[in-house]
Amino acid sequence: METALIIAAVVVVLAVLIIALVAVSRRRRQADLEERRRTVIDAREQANASQLEADRRAAAADERAARAKREQLAAEQERVMANQHRATAEDLNARADDLDPDLDRSESE
């Protein structure tokens, strides 16, 4: 009878140990899952922040490119206007030369 009680006690102790190991294992697995979830959340937050920064930099680059394009177009327009003024000045000088009574055209021919 004592042997049966000892065996029963060993079985009970083993059962309690197995239940405790299973519970600890589940808690550890749950803690690992929570840690992975926190890591995933952090990674996603960093990815979102990085994406926002990339979008901001792309928008700034687009604005800079648009500004440069406007400046280029304004410079081209100024160049066209300068050429027009230069042509007008040359035409007016030629007309003044044609009208100038003191200019001797025979010497230049």
Q: What confidence score (pLDDT) does residue 101 get? A: 83
- What local confidence, expressed as pLDDT, does residue 33 receive? 96
The parent domain of residue 57 ranges over 2-67
pLDDT tens digits, residue range 50-103? Answer: 999 999 999 999 999 999 999 999 999 999 999 999 999 999 999 998 888 887
Predicted local confidence at residue 107, as pLDDT: 54
Asked if residue 34 belongs to a domain, the reply is yes
- Say what the pLDDT of residue 103 is: 76
Q: Is residue 55 part of a domain?
A: yes
Residue 75 domain-assigned? no
Assigned token pair, 27: 């808690």
Counted domains in the chain: 1
For residue 108, pLDDT beyond 90? no
Taking only the tens place, the pLDDT of each residue in 7-30 is 999 999 999 999 999 999 999 999
Structural domain contains residue 53: yes
Q: How far apart are CA 40 and CA 42, in angstroms?
A: 5
Residue 86 counted as domain residue = no
Q: What single DSSP character describes residue 64?
A: H
H/E run at residue 10: helix 2-99
> Average pLDDT of 36-48?
97
pLDDT of residue 94: 92
Q: Which residues contact 103 (CB under 8 A, 6 or more apart)?
A: 97
